[in-house]
Amino acid sequence: MRAYECVYILEPSLEELAVKEKTEKFNEIVTSRGGTVRKIDLWGKRKLAYPIDKRFEGSYILMCFDGDNDILNELNRVYRFDDMVLRHQIVIDENPVTEQPAEEPAGETEETG
Asked if 83 contacts 34 with a C-beta cutoff of 8 angstroms, the reply is no
pLDDT, tens digit (0-9, with 9 covering 90-100), for 53-96 = 999 999 999 999 999 999 999 999 999 999 999 999 999 988 87
* 36 domain residue, yes or no: yes
Q: Does the structure show a pLDDT above 90 at 97?
A: no
* 84 domain residue, yes or no: yes
* 99 domain residue, yes or no: no
What is residue 106's predicted lDDT score, i.e. its pLDDT? 53
Paired sense of beta strands 55-67 and 85-92, if any: unpaired
* 111 domain residue, yes or no: no
The mean pLDDT of 13-32, rounded to a whole number, is 94
* 45 domain residue, yes or no: yes
* 52 domain residue, yes or no: yes
Residue 61: give its domain's CATH number: 3.30.70.60
Into how many domains does the chain fold? Answer: 1
In angstroms, the CA 1 to CA 67 distance is 5
In this structure, the number of other CB atoms found within 10 A of the CB of residue 12 comes to 16
In angstroms, the CA 60 to CA 47 distance is 10
* 76 domain residue, yes or no: yes
Distances (CA, A) of 43 to 13, 29, 59, 84: 15, 21, 7, 16
What percentage of the chain has pLDDT greater than the value 70?
A: 86
What is residue 110's predicted lDDT score, i.e. its pLDDT? 54
Q: Does the structure show a pLDDT above 60 at 105?
A: no
The structure's pTM equals 0.80
Q: What is the mean pLDDT of the chain?
A: 88
Domain ranges, residue 10: 2-92
Confidence bin at 103 (pLDDT 50/70/90): low
* 54 domain residue, yes or no: yes
